[in-house]
Structure 1
Amino acid sequence: MTLLGADARAHPEETAAVSDGRAAFDIPRQPLHAALEQYGLRTGLPVFFDAGLVAGRESHAVQMTAAPAEALRLLLQGTGLVADYTGTGSTVAFVLKPAPAEAVAQAAGTAPDTAEAAQAAVADRSYDGLVQTRIWETFCGNPRTAPGGYRAAMRFVIDGTGRIANAFLLHTSGDRARDGAILDTLRQIRIDRAPPPDMAQPLTMLILPRSQTPGLECPARH
């Protein structure tokens, strides 16, 4: 899971705002995780996904001028995944999910258990938002880890008590002291409840600098 973002589902008008600006994309067909990172760097939109969910999947090529949401839909074409937008106001991100159970079942010629699938989807979205909120708030509350001026990637799991464990950096932030502060801060975080039992782990978190996430700021400290 790659993460940088906010705490709630976007309202339709907020989702529309994400889609307004058009940009030129030149993302070739490639492993999906690499394509998603290119997409995030191009748009500045935070990405949030389970590493296991994208493993082994290939992206669709995106070579066009398009709104971010349109480009993302094309990027995911044929992968069996779709994107849900999350966030409030300017803090908007997207979360990758399996395509709706109905569509998957139709392709396989089977009937889905829609009630069970709906319950699982609601639980996943709720927990996604909770994880985003806790990590974002905690990082913003520490001057040494507050996002804005650095880029870093780390991986961790959430144990049965909701505590973040086994955290390590995939890429350095460029500052050894800050690297240590990032890991120390992650290890102190405890999510308010345990993760859903079927949630894919480990999770991956990507933090982008302010230049690549315009409008995404920590709350002002008083």
Structure 2
Amino acid sequence: MSVPMSFDIPAQPLASALDRYGDATGREVLYNPALAQGRTSEAVKGSFGPELALQLLLAGTGLAARFLKDNSFVLVPVPVAAGSPEGSAAALTRQYYGVVQAKLRDALCRTNGARPGSYRIAALAWIAPSGAVARFERLGSAGTAELDRDIDDALRHFSVGAPVPPGFAQPVLIVVLPQASGVTMSCGATALPKAAGGVR
């Protein structure tokens, strides 16, 4: 059970509020910057567990937090009810994220030095309308300069191979976690790295 902490975060632009939350809790915040644009947090003042405080901060934003095993978290849009036009678009977006994840796994597994399972890395990727990666930005280091170069090489030549659907939020935030966490995959397994930044 989370130990309550004291919070005093006024309502403000969401990106700033997430920075304040991260500073207060020491938890790393991973999210697609486009998701925070135009959104305002709720005020969080009082003593709360970190998870509850984040839920309160995100109330009304249309976003939810997905906590990872290492105490960092990823922001994703709240799922839309099935059957609505928004739900249909969300289903298409989820399907495309599934393709992104599968193709990324293949790209990492084909790059000997970047085979996943032992490192943690987050990256932003901008996907061109054709499905090719137009550019990417690795967020931090996976541990060594050589490993970073191999991951960069895999990302640079990564292609989804399918056109980007209308309204697809970019950039895509991709998080790959170590096999030991039980969250990510090794090559040949069925679990996939996590892509965030849209409804999944």
User: For the superposition of Structure 1 and Structure 2, which TM-score range results when normalised by the shorter chain?
Assistant: 0.5 to 0.7
* Alignment counterpart, residue 167 of structure 1, candidates 136, 146, 149: 136
Q: Which runs of 5+ in 2 are unaligned?
A: 67-72, 190-200
Distance change in 2, residues 1:130/1:84 (3 Å) = farther
Q: 3-state SS of the aligned residue for 1:185?
A: helix
Q: Give the TM-score of the pair, scaled to structure 2.
A: 0.61
1:215 aligns with 2:182: yes
Q: 3-state SS of the aligned residue for 1:144?
A: helix
* Alignment counterpart, residue 148 of structure 1, candidates 112, 118, 125: 118
1:32-181 alignment to 2 at 5 Å? Answer: 32-33=14-15, 35=18, 38=22, 42=27, 49-60=31-42, 61=44, 63-65=47-49, 68=51, 72-79=54-61, 81-83=62-64, 96-97=76-77, 100=80, 115-140=84-109, 142-145=111-114, 146-150=116-120, 152-181=121-150
Question: How far has the Cα of 1:23 moved from its partner?
Answer: 6.1
Question: How far has the Cα of 1:158 moved from its partner?
Answer: 1.0
Distance change in 2, residues 1:183/1:122 (3 Å) = same
Aligned residue type for 1:55? Q
Higher RCO (Cα < 8 Å, 6 or more apart): 1
Distance change in 2, residues 1:117/1:183 (3 Å) = same
Q: 3-state SS of the aligned residue for 1:57?
A: coil
Bigger mean CA deviation after superposition, 117-126 or 31-40: 31-40
Distance change in 2, residues 1:214/1:220 (3 Å) = same
Aligned residue type for 2:149? G
Q: Aligned partners of 2:91, 2:175: CA distance in 1, in Å?
A: 24
* Cα-to-partner distance string for 1:140-176 (whole Å, 9 max, x where unaligned): 55442225334x4433211122122212334343422
Q: Give the TM-score of the pair, scaled to structure 1.
A: 0.57
Hey, what does 2:69 align to over in structure 1?
none
Distance change in 2, residues 1:136/1:202 (3 Å) = same
Q: Aligned partners of 1:162, 1:32: CA distance in 2, in Å?
A: 30
Give RMSD over aligned pairs. 4.3
Q: Which runs of 5+ in 1 are unaligned?
A: 1-20, 86-92, 102-113
Q: 3-state SS of the aligned residue for 2:113?
A: coil
Q: Aligned partners of 1:23, 1:192: CA distance in 2, in Å?
A: 46
Contact 2:109 2:187 in 1 (8 A): no
Q: Aligned partners of 2:106, 2:26: CA distance in 1, in Å?
A: 23
1:14-33 alignment to 2 at 5 Å? Answer: 22=2, 28=9, 32-33=14-15
Q: How many residues align?
A: 176
Distance change in 2, residues 1:56/1:208 (3 Å) = farther
